[in-house]
């Protein structure tokens, strides 16, 4: 039952953010973009093959719902994956185990959890949340939300509408994947100064601007808390701002996607 301090059931979904080092789960109030109950974080099992990761997702979702005091079976689950995702199937595996290639995660989770499930790219999920509740609110035209972490993820929006699976981390720059130099781990892995890394990131952003002429680029991922160390050094024409939702964007966006696709009656959400 909806109470004064709890949103109506249709305004609730579970968000899951699967990353290279952690799997983060929380129940989300998708109307306000806030977490309900605890934010659970489980270390990603190694090797992170689907047969070990799927049971961890199932167990952690169950725990998150229980600890949030929600027992409805129609609460949807959204899962952000660091991969191209088409119709619930992971279609790439750049920074995850190759066993994820062509894996029908949507069907497996639906079968295991007996609830509506929506799977999408992790940066698309973070982007949805950032556009609705963060630095992208009210921004029109072409906007990119880039997540700088182990890889570089991209969420592409036009007038607030997501164009999924843009994968700008894999643009080719100097003969290799751009994310090898512009992702946040590229700085620590190569022991670079902020200045040197900002210049590599700048080169990637110039290439993005040349192809897409965005109005705004929002930079997210843990590194965005150090935005003052690199954003002022960027030389591109579009505005660049740090993301404001930080760590929770992936969870909130995945939950939003699940709740909204569910309400829209998306046929990929088989019960």
Nearer to ligand BGC, 84 or 119 (CB): 84
CA triplet 129, 137, 253: central angle to 5 degrees?
Answer: 5
Q: Which of 12, 75, 119, 123 binds ligand BGC (CB under 6 A)?
A: 123
Nearer to ligand BGC, 67 or 97 (CB): 97
Nearest distance, CB of residue 6 and ligand BGC, angstroms: 32
CA distances from 266 to 115, 148, 269 (A): 14, 30, 6
Window 161-200: contact mask with ligand BGC (x via CB under 6 A): ------x-x---------x---------------------
CA distances from 138 to 127, 146, 155, 259 (A): 13, 18, 16, 21
Q: Which of 17, 122, 130, 248 binds ligand BGC (CB under 6 A)?
A: 122
Q: Which residue is nearest to ligand BGC (CB)?
A: 151
Q: Which two tokens stand for residue 178?
A: 């751009």
Residues 79-98 that bind ligand BGC (CB under 6 A): 82-84, 92, 94-95
Quick one: CA dihedral 158, 162, 166, 168, positive or negative? Answer: positive
Cis peptide preceding 47, ω within 30 of 0: yes
CA distances from 198 to 34, 74, 105, 232, 234 (A): 32, 45, 36, 9, 7
CB count, 10 Å around CB of 263?
14
Instruction: Return d(Cα 24, Cα 122) in angstroms, integer.
Output: 12
Nearest distance, CB of residue 84 and ligand BGC, angstroms: 6
Q: Which of 26, 48, 121, 166 binds ligand BGC (CB under 6 A)?
A: 121
Nearest distance, CB of residue 123 and ligand BGC, angstroms: 4
Confirm if 169 and 177 have CB atoms less than 8 A apart.
yes
Confirm if 179 and 150 have CB atoms less than 8 A apart.
no
Nearer to ligand BGC, 148 or 259 (CB): 148
Nearest distance, CB of residue 43 and ligand BGC, angstroms: 17
Nearest distance, CB of residue 151 and ligand BGC, angstroms: 2
Nearer to ligand BGC, 48 or 147 (CB): 147
Q: Report the interface residues with ligand BGC, using CB under 6 A.
A: 82-84, 92, 94-95, 121-123, 147, 149, 151, 153, 167, 169, 179
């Amino acid at each position: 039952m909806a109470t004064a301090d709890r949103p109506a059931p249709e305004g609730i979904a579970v968000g899951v953010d699967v990353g290279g080092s952690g799997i983060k789960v929380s129940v989300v109030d998708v109307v306000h973009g806030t977490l309900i109950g605890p934010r659970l974080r489980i270390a990603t099992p190694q090797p992170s093959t689907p047969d070990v990761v799927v049971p961890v997702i199932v167990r952690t979702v169950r725990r998150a719902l229980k600890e949030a005091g929600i027992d409805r079976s129609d609460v949807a689950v959204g899962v952000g994956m660091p991969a191209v995702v088409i119709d619930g199937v992971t279609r790439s595996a750049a920074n995850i185990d190759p066993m994820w290639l062509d894996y029908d995660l949507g069907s497996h989770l639906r079968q295991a959890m007996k609830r509506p499930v929506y799977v999408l790219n992790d940066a698309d999920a973070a982007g949805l949340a950032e556009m609705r509740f963060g630095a992208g609110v009210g921004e029109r035209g072409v906007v990119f939300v880039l997540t700088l972490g182990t890889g570089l993820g991209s969420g592409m929006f036009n007038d607030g509408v997501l164009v999924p699976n843009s994968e700008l981390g894999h643009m080719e720059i100097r003969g290799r994947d751009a994310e090898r130099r512009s992702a946040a781990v590229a700085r620590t892995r190569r022991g670079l100064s902020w200045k040197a890394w900002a210049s590599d990131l700048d080169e990637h952003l110039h290439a993005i601007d040349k192809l897409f002429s965005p109005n705004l680029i929002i930079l997210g991922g843990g590194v965005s808390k150090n935005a003052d160390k690199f954003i002022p050094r960027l030389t591109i024409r579009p505005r660049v701002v740090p993301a404001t939702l930080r760590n929770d964007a992936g969870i909130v966006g995945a939950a939003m996607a699940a709740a909204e696709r569910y309400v829209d009656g998306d046929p990929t959400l088989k019960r």
